[in-house]
Structure 1
Amino acid sequence: MSSNPIKTAVIGVGLAGMVFHLPLLVALPDLFDVCVVVERNSQQEGGKARKFGINPKVVETVEQAILDPEIELVIIGTPNATHYPFAKAALAAGKHVLVDKPIVPTYEEALTLLDLARSKNLILYAFQNRRWDSDFLVVKKLIQDRTLGDLTEFESHFDRYRTSLRVHWHGSNTPGSGLLYDLGTHLIDQALVLFGKPQKITAFTQNILELGDVEDNFTILLHYLPDETKIYPITAILRSHFLSVRTPQFRYSVKGSKGTFTKEGVDIQEDQLKAYDIPPFDPNFGIEPADIHGVLEILQEDGSITKSRIPSERGSYVSLYRNVAAAIREGAPLDVKWEEASTVIQLIELAKQSVLEEKTMDVPV
C-alpha cells in the first residue's frame, strides 16, 4: 500500500476535520494522500489543512470534490443533517466513503446507503473512533478474559460541563441533532461491541439548560436477558449530562460475580489532537497518565477483596484509518461494519420513542 496511497477528499474542516480526520490522515502518508479539501471562502492556498504540512487543492463545493476523477475516498465531517445526501452522492459517483458519527439521522437512511454501497462494491465506513479509546480497550480485555466473572451491570458515562453550545446546529431541532446523536452514539456503539444487540431499551432525556431545542442529558438502559452466554441479566447504563461538575470525570463501572472495575478520566487522544503537540505516530500519543488508570477489585476465596490499579491500553485512533486503507486496497474485513453503526441509529430512534411513550421498547431482532 505504501506505493499507492489512497487519493482522499475531506469534506468539512470544522471540529471533525481539523481535530480528527486530517491529523490522522496526515499521520499515515504511505496510506492516504489528502488531495482535496472542501472549505468555503478559503483565502489561502491549501486552506486550513496547511496547518498539518500539506497543501491540498481547496474547493468550495461538495460537488467539486465528489466529481473529481482523481479522488477514491470521500470523508464526510459536516453537520449531521448533511451526512445522508453527501454520502449518497459520493457513492453514486463511485467513491469509497467514510462518514463521521452519527452516520445519518435515520435507520432507513443508513440501510439505503448500505444497499447503494453494496450495489457498487464500495467501502462504506463509520467513524466510530472511540472503539480505540485507551480505557475502552482495557474494559474490553477484562470482559473478554472473564476477569470479573459473570457480568451483571455495565455503566458508562460521557459527561461535559457546558453552559453554551459549541455550534448552534447542535441545539437546533434538525435531523441528527441533540446529545443522543452526539455522545450517545459513542456510548451505544461501545455497548454493542461488548454485548451485542439488547433485547429491550428504556430511555430518559431532559433539556435542563434549554440552550437549544433538544436534549442536553440522557440515561439509556439496554436490557440483556440471560441466554447461553449470560448467566445473569445484564443492564448497560449509558449516561451523559451537560452539567457535570467533577474532575476527573466518572467513566466506567463494570460489575461481575468475581469483582468490579471502575474508571475515572476520559481518553486523552482528543485533547492531544486538539493541541497537536504530540502527533498520532509519536510513542507517547494515546498513553493515559497513571492517575486516571482504572481500579480493579477482585473477591478472593477467603472473602477478602484485593484492589489494584490497571493501566489502560494505548489508545489508537489511527488503527481505524489503517483498517480503512486495508479494506480499500486489500479487501480486509471492516473493523467497524456499517450494519453495526446502523444499529446504533436504530437504538437512538427507539430511545426517542421510549421517551415519547414513557415505556420500555422491544428491540427488533
Structure 2
Amino acid sequence: MIRTIKTCVLGVGLAGLTFHVPFILALPEIFTLYAVLERNPQTEGGKVNERFGITPKIYRSLDDVLADKDIELIIVGTPNETHYEFAKAALNAGKHVLVDKPVTATSEQAKELGRLATSKRLVLYAFQNRRWDSDFLALKKLLAEPETSDKSLGEITDFESHFDRYRKGLKGTWKDQPLPAAGITYDLGAHLIDQALFLFGRPTRITAFIQNMRGVGDPTVDDSFTIIFHYDSGARTRYPLTVTLRAHCLSVRAPQVRYIVRGTRGTYTKFGLDVQEDQLKVISSPSAILEERYGMEPEYLWGTLEKIEADDLTVTKSIWPSADPGAYIDLFRNLGASIRGAESPSVKWEEATAVVEMIELAHRSASERVTVGVTAS
C-alpha cells in the first residue's frame, strides 16, 4: 500500500480554502491534510475546521512547518510576493512544493527555484489550474480536429482570450498593494498567458498595454491589460497568427466573452467562465468535487462554431459542447503521481517560468511603448 503524502498548506485565505484544501481532502488515498500555516487562528480548530470539520495541525510560523520531518509536500498559497521565499525555504528543507501562480515575481527567481529542485530531486509544481477548465478542455479538442474534419477551423489566424469583469473599487486586500508580482497582469494574466503558450508556444514578439484604468489605489498596480502575442508564418503555421489576451475591469457584459478563435475555415466563439471556482467557494464537503455534476458547464454557455462550407459562400452554425467537466482535481492526481515517481508533471516548471518571462516582457512593452522581441527558449 502506497503511503499518503502528508501535506501542509501555507495560507488559509481564498487560495488555500478554495483551491487547495478541498482537493487534498477529496483525495485521501493520495494526500493527508497534515497541517496548515495559519498565523492568527480565531478559533481553536482554525479556518479549516470551521468550514470542513477537519482539524489539521496548525502552525503559526514557517520555521515550525519546515522543522516538521513528517511533512512531504508544502503548498504555497500565500500572497504573491512570498512565493519565491517560501518555495525556496521549503525546497531547502527537503519538501516537495506546489506553488500558486504567479510562481515568482521574476523569471530569474523561477529559474533559480527550478535549479534548486532539480539538484535536490524534488518535485516543484506550478498551480496553473485553468488548463483543466471545462471550456479550455473543449477548446483543445476543437483545435486538435484533423484538417480533414468538417469541424476543423483550418489554420488559426486570430485567437482572443478574455478574463473581463466589472469592479469599480478596490478589494481591500494585499492584491491592491504595490508589492512584487502585484497587479492583474501577474494575477489573471498568468492564466491567459499559460493557456496561450500551451496552445501555440512562444511568440515572436509582444505588444502590451497595461494600466490602472480606474485611477484608484496605487497607480503602479495595474487593473487592466491587453497583451498581443505575434507569431510569424513559418513552421508552426502557414499564416501569421495574432493572439490577444485581455482582462478589463469595467466590462459590464454578462456573460463575458471568453474565447474568439478565427481560422481559415471557421470561427469559434465562447462566453462565460468555468464554473469550478464558484462551486468551490460554496461546497460544504470536499466529496462534492467527486460528484458527477461537479465542473459541468451549463449548455447555454457552450461555444458555437460558424463554418465556411466548401462553396466558400455558405455559413453553417453549430454548438461545440464543453462536454467534459472541469477537472482541477486531475492536477492534484498528477501532482501526487509525480511525487511518487509514477508520472511526470503535467505542468512543467519551465512552462511556469516562461509565463513569468512573458509577463516581464509585457510590462516592458507597456512601459516603453514598444513591441519587444521574444528570444527562443
Match of 2:307 in 1: 298
Letter in 1 for 2:120: K
Structure 2 partner of 1:199: 204
Is 1:40 matched with 2:47? Answer: no
1:210 corresponds to: 215
List structure 1 segments (4+ residues) > 4 angstroms apart after TM superposition. none
Contact (CA 8 Å) 1:45, 1:57: kept in 2 or not?
A: no
Confirm or deny: 8 A CA contact 1:45 1:55 kept in the other structure: no
Work out whether residues 159 and 240 of structure 1, in 8 Å CA contact, stay in contact via their aligned partners in 2: yes
Partner of 1:274: 281
User: Given that residues 7 and 71 in structure 2 are in contact (C-alpha distance below 8 angstroms), is that contact kept between their aligned partners in structure 1?
Assistant: yes
8 Å contact from structure 1 (residues 154, 255) kept in 2: yes
Cα distance in 2 for residues equivalent to 1:31 and 1:308:
41
Residues 184-204 of structure 1, C-alpha deviations (whole Å, 9 max, x = no match): 000000000100111110100
CA–CA distance in 1 between the matches of 2:25 and 2:81? 27
Q: Give distance in 2, aligned partners of 1:165 and 1:85.
A: 27
CA contact (8 A) 1:111 1:342 kept: yes
Match of 1:286 in 2: 295
Query: What does 1:1-365 align with in structure 2 at a 5 Å threshold?
Result: 3-50=2-49, 51-146=51-146, 147-213=152-218, 214-276=221-283, 279-302=288-311, 303-312=313-322, 313-365=324-376
- Equivalent residue letter for 2:87: A
Q: Which amino acid aligns with 1:48?
A: K
Q: Is the 8 A contact 1:45 1:58 kept in 2?
A: no
Distance apart, 1:3 and its partner CA: 4.0
Shift of 1:217: 0.5
Tell me the secondary structure at the aligned position of residue 143 of structure 2.
helix
**Structure 2 residue runs without a partner (length 5+):** 147-151
Letter in 1 for 2:38: E
Cα deviation, residue 53, structure 1: 3.5
Post-superposition shift, 1:277? 5.4
SS of match in other structure, 1:64: helix
Supply the distance in 1 between the matched residues of 2:48 and 2:74 (Cα, whole angstroms): 16
1:275 to partner: Cα distance: 1.0
What TM-score results when the alignment is normalised by the length of structure 1?
Answer: 0.97
Q: Secondary structure of the residue that 2:277 maps to in structure 1?
A: helix
Unaligned runs of 5+ in 1: none
- Greater alpha carbon shift after TM alignment, 70-79 vs 136-145: 136-145
Partners of 1:76 and 1:164 in 2: CA distance: 28
Q: Is the 8 A contact 1:157 1:238 kept in 2?
A: yes
Q: Deviations over 1:271-320 (max 9, x none)?
A: 00001158211110000001111011111113211111111031000000
* Separation in 2, partners of 1:238, 1:130: 15
C-alpha distance in structure 2 between counterparts of 1:44 and 1:69, whole Å = 26
Distance in 2 between the 1:177 and 1:212 partners? 12
Which amino acid in 1 is paired with 2:156?
L
**How far apart are 1:83 and its partner, in Å?**
0.5
For residues 9 and 369 of structure 2, the distance between their equivalents in structure 1, rounded to whole angstroms, comes to 41
Aligned residues: 364
Relative to the length of structure 2, the TM-score reads 0.94
32-41 vs 278-287, which deviates more? 278-287
